[in-house]
Chains A and B, each alone.
Chain A
Amino acid sequence: MAFIGLEAEKYDRIYQDRDLFRRIIGYFKNYKKKIIAITLLLTISSLIHAILPILITIAINSLEISTNIENFIIIILIMLSFNFLGFLINYFQQIKTSEAIGNVILDIRKDANNSVLNHDLSFFDQNPSGKIVSRINTDSQDFGRTMELLMEVISSCFVVVVFTIIMFFLNIFLSFIFMIIIPSFFIVAILFMKAARRRTILGQRAIASVNAFVKETYSGIQIAKTFSQEEKLFKEFEQVNNQSYKVNLKRAFLFNIIFPSLGIIQAFVLVLLIYFGGIDILKGTISIGNLNLFIQGTWLLTFPLFTIAAFWPQLQAGLASAERIFALIDTNPKVIQTDNIKPTKLKGKIEFKNLTFEYEEDKKVFENFSLTINPGESIAIVGHTGAGKSSLANLLARFYEFQAGDILIDDISIRQFDLSKYRKKIGIIPQTPFLWADTIENNIKYCCKNAEKEDITNALNQTGGAEWIEDLPNGLETYIRERGSLLSMGQRQLTVFSRVLLENPSILILDEATASIDPFTETRIQEALEKIMKGRTSIIIAHRLWTIRHVDRIIVLDHGKIVEEGNHQALISKGGIYANLYNTYFRHQSLDYIEKVRDL
């Protein structure tokens, strides 16, 4: 059950229960016919459930009057037909229920996923992917389970109510005695839930620490073996494992008390019924069949009553799940387009005009930032961490919304473009390239499904050649695992380069890798970069010495401001901020450094 992770998160609005129910009902409304059918079927099946014991009562009562078999035949036949009817109705009700709930979960998941995929990146910065996934998949599942449970509770309520009415009809005093069972069940159930919750959390923590320890052992096994320290690990393992045993045993003990406790309550009520019912029988004020109904009631109603008693906390958990999903669906994306100009081709002129931008309130990344980039120009952006390099790229890609000023592409405000048509004209290569768990081929043609094999080889040839792909077990068909983990970082970049070439964007944004890449692949990347920059506006967040030497212009950023610009030679000889930056970030990539490394 959803005990852990209930802590409120940032975008959670507090929904009124009323609003929540309205939303939930809204989803079920689409299946109105099914819901009506289910309600009807549930009512009938509960009535049958309650009527069967009454038929038995009638049968037993009539035993006192006559022993003639024929008198019973009708009752028996009715019972038999009710047996079949009850099963049949239950059958249809269950099918309709699972159809309705299955479809509602489907709709909720669809809505949540659509809403998530429409968000801009600021949403994903605030919400770790694990949480989003668990909201969409797990919370909806929990919610569905609560709905199934709700059906059970409703039918249990029907049974209890019908049964209670009949009991009061038969004997008011015994009914009151019987009623003792209801509050006692609720008290036990609620007390139990509270304690269980605490113990469960403790139990989960204990097992989590075992898991963490074991995971660490498996990750560090090589070190342990190299230094022969297995025994040390084992001793620590023994400790956490035993601790988990103790804590979880306590939890289990508690869980096992609940049903016997209910049994004890049952026994007391039974004894009271026998005592007072017995007196009534002796006095002749109650028939045997009627007393039997009360006695049977103590067994028959145990389960429905427990279901009802235990439902409240489960309903709360289910509502919390629903709230989390609705909150996800209801968050509005921040990036908005004001017009829908569909660019066919961009020249690639970029102008930042008095731009102001912040990720979080009052933490301005840019204030009055201005920069013009000419069509076809290649720009390297350098600067310390936090200077605003990636923010420039993020804004150009429309991943985030800026607060003031404007960005003009070919002299048109970036906000006026149709978002998806505009993005198709922008090629983005992030620092850690993302690849799908698919073949290399499908990864390259991710943006252009209809690309021919020829186009792909073409793109590959332009980016340093397809030779490295031939080294892979199945060439282009090689399945490269999650995030492309079969490939080295450099190979992943080459793949992404090919993808971008196939997309043929007007503007290229490249966040250069800082990861180390083997020299052979790096040579290829350099060749690929030369080709890919040609003929398009390129903005490169540079980490490589080679790159800053090969661009048209270097922009030195510091705290959201341009402090120097020019080409490598000119800036170096100027001996200013760039020269300093060079010494901090690029010096060790020079040939000079390699030659002198021995003298460090």
Chain B
Amino acid sequence: MAKLDKNFKKDYLVEFSIDGAHSFHIKNKKPSRWILAHILHGSNKIYISIVLVTTIIAAMLSSALMIVVGEAINSFILENDTSLLFYVILILSLGISAPLMRIGNFMLREILAQRLERDARKEFYINLLGKSQSFHDQQKIGDLMARTTNDVRMLNYLVSPALSLIIESFTSLIIPLIFILMFYPSQLVLVPSIFIFTFLIALRSYIKKIGPVTEKMRANFGEMNIILNESISGISLIKSTVQEAQEKHKYLMKIKAYRDAFVEQGRIQAKYIPILLLALMNTISLTHSIILFSHGSITVGQIIGYLGLLSQFRFPIFISFFVFSIIKLAGAGAKRLLEIMNKKTEIDENLEGKSKDITGNIKFENVSFCYPKSKNKILQNISFEIRSGETLALVGTTGSGKTTLTKLITRLYDVTNGKILIDGLDVRNYALKSLRSQVSYIEQDVFLFSNHIIDNISFGKKSSFEEVIKVAKLAQAHEFISSLPNGYQSEIGERGIQLSGGERQRIALARAFLVDPRILILDDSTSAIDSKTEDEIQKAINNIQKNRTTIIITHRLSQIRWADLIIVLKRGKIIAQGTHEYLIENSPEYRKIFIKKFDLDEEKLKTRGRI
């Protein structure tokens, strides 16, 4: 399956990729360069050039309009009535063509923005599909979701409105200056230039101040949600322990902090100096132009045109302060996306690994394990052996290392010390694909796709309807599936039917029957409320154990009791192993379970254990 994309070097070996799909991220590339690569990709370049050109033309049209208005007034003063119609037509065409130009411009920039969102999401998605399972095990779905939705969306906003508004602001600062130079005495450019210079400085300091406050508000709001959510979830606890006052106080502190941040934000916004600068510039440039007028260097119409040109500065002044926060957010978003995409996935494929059919003998030799970059030993000196077709039951409390132990077998993680042998061969000497295709894993919370039941069962292997029914029967799922209104065509999920944990487990078992792996790892944490369901789950598990090596993590005493080998784990160590009969006699911990649960005395238990 693992195809090698041309763009990837060897250390970018991934488990999945799409031929012809563009991937722009290159190791350690900066977010800005990555975004740029996206923006400039393919036909986008043409769009960008058009956007740039039309932005400039639109700004030029607006500026020209101001100058023409001034000239029109001049000619009226000179009582030139023949020119009236000429100016009316000219002003109308200039006045309308600028907005029309903008419509086209906006559409194109939207295409760019939406494309960026679409393509970045696609790249991110493909990249995640290509990551190894051990990578995915370490990710929180909520976190990945936040990246795929919000961070990607930020990139869209980055292009539209943020970047395009910056371009627009920039042109509506520069073009009027150029027009002033072209049409009016060049010294008139002085005041606006000083203004632009001071404006940029003031803006910079404003952004620096407002950023942290906005961030604080966002963080406070998040905490408000967390606190409220938690106290509503725990409402019966709060009530039964009479802690309402305390919870109210907790929330009050948070909303007060939010209020303070809100007021602080208001203070900073109130101090937005560019507004003052703009007003001062207007007054001073008016003064300047009047002085020139008194010297006879310009006309009244030109003063009006000049003031009109300067009125275009209003736009950048009022939009810049929110634009920059978007840019910052988008930058942070891109960084988060790249952070995930550039993570190396920890598959260490043995290129000379063997592909061969296994029979299912498993042997752990002195295996120890700690997670990468951690010194904390999750498993210590684990040794045991089970033969093909046998069942191993792993028992222990949460955190004792049961699940981790099973993950070492398919090399979702590699052992730190010792080795694991399957049919006498170290798992690291197998071709990964060959190894994994013969070992199935049914996890604790069985995942089913929001799809038809039949598609879920045949997910791993296309099969006929008859085959699906056959395996569903083996997994004791046929009965409850048939009783659903749409039978095997029933849709699972939010919009479809909700299945209980036991039912989901049996569908997963059916899926496993279909693929028929040599080794099955079953993390079984379901509980049946009634005995009939329990009967069915038991039958299904009994069936799947036949003719294959099964490792079962379970709380079911009935499954533990009959396993060929029971391993009792505690803090990563084996504290007892053997058959039920052996453990009843030799392990006090194991014996205690039965004594307590069934009110037996030790003698009686020992005789029963030998049955």
Contacts and interface: CB of A to CB of B under 8 A. Distances in A.
B251 A113 contact: yes
Mostly, the A contact residues are helix
Interface in B227-250: 228-244, 247-248
A245 B228 contact: no
B550 interface: no
Contacts of A98: 262-263, 265-267, 269-270
B287 interface: yes
A303 B594 CA distance: 79
Mostly, the B contact residues are helix
A205 B129 CA distance: 24
A523 B267 contact: no
A221 B133 contact: yes
B280 A288 contact: no
Contacts of B247: 117
Contacts of A434: 233-234, 236-237
B267 A95 contact: yes
Interface string A240-282: 0110110011001100110111011011101100110011011
A521 B597 CA distance: 11
A274 to B, nearest CB: 6
Contacts of B232: 116, 124, 129, 132-133
A118 interface: yes
A426 B126 CA distance: 55
B16 A231 contact: yes
Interface stretch (A83-91, A324-332, A570-578): A83-91
A471 B526 CA distance: 24
A91 B271 contact: yes
B148 A211 contact: yes
A91 B294 CA distance: 36
Interface string A506-518: 0000000011111
A299 B558 contact: no
Contacts of A90: 270, 275
Interface in B559-611: 559-562, 570-571, 589, 592-594, 596-600, 608, 611
B160 A252 contact: yes
A588 B571 CA distance: 30
B102 A259 contact: yes
B589 A106 contact: no
Interface stretch (A57-65, A455-463, A559-567): A57-65
B236 A399 contact: yes
A87 B531 contact: no
Interface string B545-562: 000000000011111111
A78 B8 CA distance: 68
Contacts of B510: none
Interface stretch (B116-124, B183-191, B195-203, B416-424): B116-124
A282 B78 CA distance: 8
Interface string A277-294: 011011000001001100
B139 A218 contact: yes
A141 B262 CA distance: 11
B447 A428 contact: no
Residue of B141, B279, B398 ringed by the most chain A CB atoms within 10 A: B398
Interface string A291-321: 1100110011001000000000000000000
Contacts of A553: none
B287 A274 contact: no
B242 A598 contact: no
A130 B230 CA distance: 11
Interface stretch (B204-212, B477-485, B535-543): B535-543
B527 interface: yes
Interface in A435-449: 436-437, 446-447
B300 A63 contact: yes
B78 to A, nearest CB: 10
B280 A519 contact: no
B102 A260 contact: yes
A25 B237 CA distance: 36
A104 B381 CA distance: 63
Interface in A463-511: 468, 471-472, 482-483, 487-488, 490-491, 503
B279 A274 contact: no
A137 B106 CA distance: 35
A21 to B, nearest CB: 23
A291 B276 CA distance: 26
A229 B267 CA distance: 55
A275 B259 CA distance: 53
Interface stretch (A67-75, A167-175, A350-358): A67-75
B231 A282 contact: no
A83 B287 CA distance: 14
Interface stretch (A7-15, A156-164, A579-587): A579-587
Given A260-B99, A267-B95, A523-B592, A229 B240 contact: no
B351 interface: no
A447 B129 contact: no
Contact of A588 (B133, B234, B535, B593): B535
Interface string A77-107: 0011001101100111111011101110110
Contacts of A282: 76, 79, 81, 84
A25 to B, nearest CB: 20
B46 interface: no
Interface in B104-122: 106-107, 110-111, 113-115, 117-118, 121-122
Contact of A56 (B118, B136, B248, B307): B307
B501 to A, nearest CB: 9
A516 B527 contact: yes
B290 interface: yes
Contacts of A281: 73, 76-77
B436 A226 contact: yes
B558 A594 contact: yes
Nearest to B559: A597
A229 B459 contact: yes
A76 interface: yes
Contact of B529 (A121, A132, A278, A543): A543
A184 interface: no
A234 interface: yes
B515 to A, nearest CB: 7
Contacts of B117: 245, 248
Contact of B239 (A113, A121, A227, A515): A121
30 contacts: A83-B280, A95-B266, A98-B265, A102-B260, A105-B255, A120-B239, A121-B235, A129-B229, A137-B225, A220-B449, A221-B129, A226-B441, A234-B126, A241-B118, A241-B122, A245-B118, A248-B117, A256-B110, A264-B99, A288-B300, A299-B311, A420-B244, A430-B237, A447-B242, A471-B397, A471-B571, A516-B525, A518-B397, A585-B531, A597-B558
Given A95-B270, A521-B397, 5 more contacts: A76-B287, A99-B263, A229-B460, A428-B237, A503-B241
